[in-house]
């Protein structure tokens, strides 16, 4: 997205200097005051330095690259969400307004190692290969992203539909580096892939983002489901914001407003400008008529997701279930220049409730905040080591695609028997899939070190017992995770055959543990 500025020749530099001189002359007796202005003085100094380098430096100098480097250096002193963007970035924003874009389905921010993944689009290309929020992409097609501007590095992840990008990413939690090829697809901007009822008559709505139109879709879904006379009256509402990276502040306000009574605090913002410091209050009424609400969140719930979750939590209108949210409490605005380029710049911080900020005042050093803590913590199975290894291998997708007819038939008849776990385990073995947990890796390393140091027999026997037990536990992971594997196989097969909506309706809403847990909380609240 961000490209190097066009080379600036000597004439352009002279024109810049002359322009500043003209401004000083026009100011007449105020010339000293003009040059004492820090902003103007700094601009004058930068232009003067660039001119002298180009005039005197013995080697040829690419002025465009030099000034681009200086420009990027300024943003390195700011938070990771602020950056210079060229006109291609705005073109992509226009592209997204058409309802989609071509890429791998992730939201990223700058990191010292490359790009940190904020969230992963559900059922998108990156999600299918197992990328998670918090992963750090360090290379794309063998191009290192270290030190590269955010817009430029993110542009490498986009491309024509059907092309592949080879990415390397680090998973900080386990210090693993993984390389995987991802095929780019058109990522449709579908705000709500599913809105319907759980088996115990709770409304369940999956909201993927807060881009333009998200609130209107959510309102329509709530109106339709609360008026549905073919189901018993709903006992509560589950709003699933897992992996939702946020979007527009206005959409977050409008979404929270759906659930809050007139006058309730939604969110406040504080910025350097008084125009960026304001408070937003609900205009009511509560369009759910006080229906108990659970908001499901995880580490990928960021920005506008945190505004909605925080507003409802602070107003005691909903309880949060899941994991601590990402912690993005900074609001960005856009400035576009006449030549088409512009800035994406943090303009304020937001707070919920009684002055609860996600980010500390020094956002340069604390541009990732503390996040929102859930009222009920939930341990998501898909973040454990073995399920992550399976998802990274793509074996679940391969197996489900091979046997989709049989899997769907078995699912329709009741449930998948354990023999499917045996079949899948054999398939994974034929594909040379192996899983070794962190404890097994550590024990194996200790065994090697013990050999090198010629440790005593007792030490060798102890380490060997630990290693064998850990390996035995690893070998049992197919059975330990059998419910997860069965559910994923059904989900993949049904989605392949009938689409995402049916996969939610027939599998995910019925079988995902966090949704069942949220339903239990709503029943107790009722």
Confidence of residue 25 (pLDDT cuts 50, 70, 90): very low
Q: How does pLDDT run across 153-178, given as a tens digit for each residue?
A: 878 888 888 999 999 998 876 667 88
Between 10-19, 178-187, 292-301, 317-326, the lowest mean confidence (pLDDT) is in 10-19
Residue 282 vs residues 163, 213, 237, 507: alpha-carbon distances, Å:
45, 18, 19, 36
Token couple for 370: 């503390």
pLDDT: which is higher, 421 or 129: 421
Q: What is the CATH number that goes with domain 100-188?
A: 2.30.42.10
Tokens 């549905």 correspond to: 228
Confidence of residue 348 (pLDDT cuts 50, 70, 90): confident
- The answer to whether the beta carbons of residues 145 and 111 sit under 8 Å apart is no
Q: Which residues of 445-466 are buried (b: 16+ CB within 10 A; e: fewer)?
A: ebbeebeeeeeeeeeeeebeeb
Q: Is the pLDDT of residue 62 over 90?
A: no
Q: How far apart are CA 339 and CA 307, in angstroms?
A: 34
- The answer to whether the beta carbons of residues 203 and 243 sit under 8 Å apart is no
Q: Is the pLDDT of residue 324 over 90?
A: yes
Domain boundaries, the chain: 10-75, 100-188, 194-378, 382-512
Q: Is the pLDDT of residue 254 over 70?
A: yes
Q: How does pLDDT run across 258-270, given as a tens digit for each residue?
A: 999 999 999 999 8
Residues in the chain: 526
Judge if pTM exceeds 0.85.
no
Dihedral (C-alpha) 513, 519, 523, 526: value to the nearest 10 degrees?
Answer: 150
pLDDT attached to residue 363: 57
Cis, peptide link before residue 285, omega less than 30° from 0: yes
pLDDT attached to residue 271: 82
Specify the CATH superfamily of domain 194-378. Answer: 2-enoyl-CoA Hydratase; Chain A, domain 1 (3.90.226.10)
Confidence of residue 63 (pLDDT cuts 50, 70, 90): confident
Average pLDDT over residues 494-522: 92
Q: How far apart are CA 514 and CA 192, in angstroms?
A: 18
Q: How does pLDDT run across 191-227, given as a tens digit for each residue?
A: 999 999 999 999 999 999 998 889 999 999 999 999 9
pLDDT attached to residue 40: 67
Q: Is the pLDDT of residue 280 over 90?
A: yes
Confidence of residue 1 (pLDDT cuts 50, 70, 90): very low
Q: Is the pLDDT of residue 437 over 70?
A: yes
Q: How far apart are CA 131 and CA 119, in angstroms?
A: 9
Tokens 């601590």 correspond to: 324
Average pLDDT over residues 417-443: 90
Confidence of residue 127 (pLDDT cuts 50, 70, 90): confident
């Amino acid at each position: 997205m961000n490209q190097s500025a066009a080379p600036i020749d000597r004439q352009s530099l002279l024109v810049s200097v002359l322009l500043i001189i003209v401004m000083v002359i026009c100011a007449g007796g105020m010339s000293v005051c003009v040059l004492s202005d820090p902003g103007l003085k700094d601009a004058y100094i930068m232009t003067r330095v660039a001119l002298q380098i180009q005039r005197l430096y013995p080697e040829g100098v690419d002025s465009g690259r030099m000034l681009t480097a200086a420009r990027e250096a300024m943003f390195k002193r700011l938070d990771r969400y602020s950056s210079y963007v060229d006109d291609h970035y705005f073109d992509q924003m226009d592209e997204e307004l058409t309802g989609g874009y071509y890429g791998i389905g992730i939201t990223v921010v700058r990191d010292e190692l490359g790009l940190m993944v904020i969230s992963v689009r559900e059922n998108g290309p990156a999600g299918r290969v197992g990328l998670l929020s918090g992963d750090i992409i360090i290379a794309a097609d063998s191009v290192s992203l270290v030190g590269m501007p955010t817009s430029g590095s993110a542009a490498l992840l986009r491309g024509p539909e059907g092309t592949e990008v080879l990415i390397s990413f680090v998973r900080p939690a386990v210090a693993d580096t993984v390389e995987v090829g991802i095929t780019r697809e058109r990522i449709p901007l579908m705000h709500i892939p599913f809105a319907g009822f759980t088996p115990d008559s709770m409304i369940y709505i999956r909201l993927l983002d807060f881009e333009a139109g998200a609130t209107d879709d959510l309102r329509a879904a709530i109106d339709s489901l609360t008026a549905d006379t073919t189901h018993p009256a709903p006992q509560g509402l589950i709003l699933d914001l897992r992996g939702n990276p946020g979007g527009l502040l206005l959409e977050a306000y409008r979404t929270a407003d759906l659930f809050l009574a007139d006058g309730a605090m939604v969110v406040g913002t504080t910025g350097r400008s008084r125009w960026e410091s304001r408070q937003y209050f609900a205009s009511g009424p509560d369009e759910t008529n006080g229906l108990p609400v659970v908001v499901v969140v995880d580490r990928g719930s960021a920005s506008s997701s945190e505004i909605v979750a925080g507003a409802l939590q602070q107003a005691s209108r909903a309880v949060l279930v899941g994991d601590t949210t990402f912690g993005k409490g900074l609001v960005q605005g856009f400035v576009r220049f006449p030549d088409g380029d512009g800035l994406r710049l943090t303009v304020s911080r937001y707070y919920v409730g009684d002055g609860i900020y996600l980010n500390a005042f020094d956002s340069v050093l604390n541009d990732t905040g503390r996040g929102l803590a859930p009222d009920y913590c939930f341990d998501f199975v898909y973040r454990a080591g073995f399920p992550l290894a399976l998802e990274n291998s793509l074996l679940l997708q391969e197996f489900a695609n091979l046997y989709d007819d049989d899997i769907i038939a078995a699912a329709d008849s009741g449930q998948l028997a354990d023999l499917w776990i045996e079949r899948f385990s054999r398939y994974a073995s034929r594909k040379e899939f192996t899983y070794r947990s962190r404890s097994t890796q550590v024990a194996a390393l200790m065994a090697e070190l013990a050999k090198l140091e010629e440790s005593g027999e007792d030490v060798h026997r102890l380490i060997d017992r630990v290693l064998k037990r850990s390996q035995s536990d690893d070998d049992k992971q197919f059975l330990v995770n059998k419910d997860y594997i069965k559910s994923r196989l059904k989900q993949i097969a049904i989605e392949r055959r009938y689409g995402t909506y049916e996969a939610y309706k027939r599998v995910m809403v019925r079988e995902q543990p966090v949704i069942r847990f949220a339903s239990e909380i709503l029943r107790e609240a009722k």
